[in-house]
Structure 1
């Protein structure tokens, strides 16, 4: 499993794993208690693989940030997200020294650490490595041949020209 199937659903605590897509939304399973819920398409849902953290150089994908936490903690639990803001900021500065302190709020750091600890508790930290996409060879596009007009139309067009 990787972060492409892990969801954060607005208004719902914890993380969810995408199970099945339906006509009106999808079914997700909670990583906390294993309960399945249905989520409609109007809900505000974020894929963890699509989330990035602001840095002074640009944006850093959440997957890479979580990998850095895993390396620092030897794939163990990170500090609790319930620590005071100064402790959280200092810890996050160790993980990602170039994070933009004006655009990344303490609440964002708490979410990242909470999500990491949730994934670590479920044994999913080892699977955080991004899938390396092999370069795809583009198949040469065959040039479309112009369609030939039926013989009767050609003859009629030829007579009209004369």
Structure 2
């Protein structure tokens, strides 16, 4: 489920992947269900690809979100990430994931994690476990994924059609052949 939830660098909130165009993704905001395009030049990250640093191996984000959900009983976080101090954020993270790497996980990362959790809970998305379809690399799956950005080499090598704008490129001989109205002729005579 988290594979279709996206974070876009430079844009607030989380987005749900709706479809994919030729050079863009069509996403829907989780907060107010507005649809908007996300172009290839923007940095997009799937929540399913994010992990949290620990003293051992990295822990996938869905496990951390499940820990927060267990602590909060599937309600919004008890701590306000926007107004919490760094020490409060670190203490909260130590309760949720005791062996997180305190040197590489910054308070801003914890704020982002808690704000994402609150957005997901507010949107009614409480199942953070990966679905079997999220891990499978089946070609039978017709739904767009982030990996499909460069789906076919034929599409990437295809050039867009060339459209000539003849209105902007008129020559003197073409202008002489063009019928001119009386008002334009009077202006030229003056």
- Is this a same-fold pair by TM over 0.5? yes
Superimposed CA distance per residue, residues 39-97 of structure 1 (whole angstroms, 9 cap, x where no aligned partner): 11121000000000000011000010000000111111112112111111100000000
**Alpha-carbon separation, structure 1, partners of 2:49 and 2:71:** 23
- Calculate the TM-score normalised by the size of structure 1: 0.78
Query: Is 2:38 the partner of 1:39?
Result: yes
Gap regions ≥5 residues in structure 1: 137-162
Q: Compared with structure 1, are the counterparts of its residues 23 and 129 closer, same or farther at alpha carbon in structure 2 (3 Å cutoff)? A: same
Structure 1 counterpart of 2:112? 111
SS of residue matched to 2:75: coil
**Alpha-carbon separation, structure 1, partners of 2:130 and 2:47:** 12
SS of residue matched to 2:52: strand
Structure 2 counterpart of 1:14? 13
**Aligned pairs for 1:138-157 within 5 A:** none
Structure 2 counterpart of 1:67? 66
Aligned residues: 132
Structure 1 counterpart of 2:53? 54
Structure 1 counterpart of 2:103? 102
RMSD of Structure 2 on Structure 1 (CA): 1.3
- Calculate the TM-score normalised by the size of structure 2: 0.67
**Alpha-carbon separation, structure 2, partners of 1:46 and 1:39:** 12
Gap regions ≥5 residues in structure 2: 137-190
SS of residue matched to 2:89: helix
SS of residue matched to 2:58: strand
Structure 2 counterpart of 1:28? 27
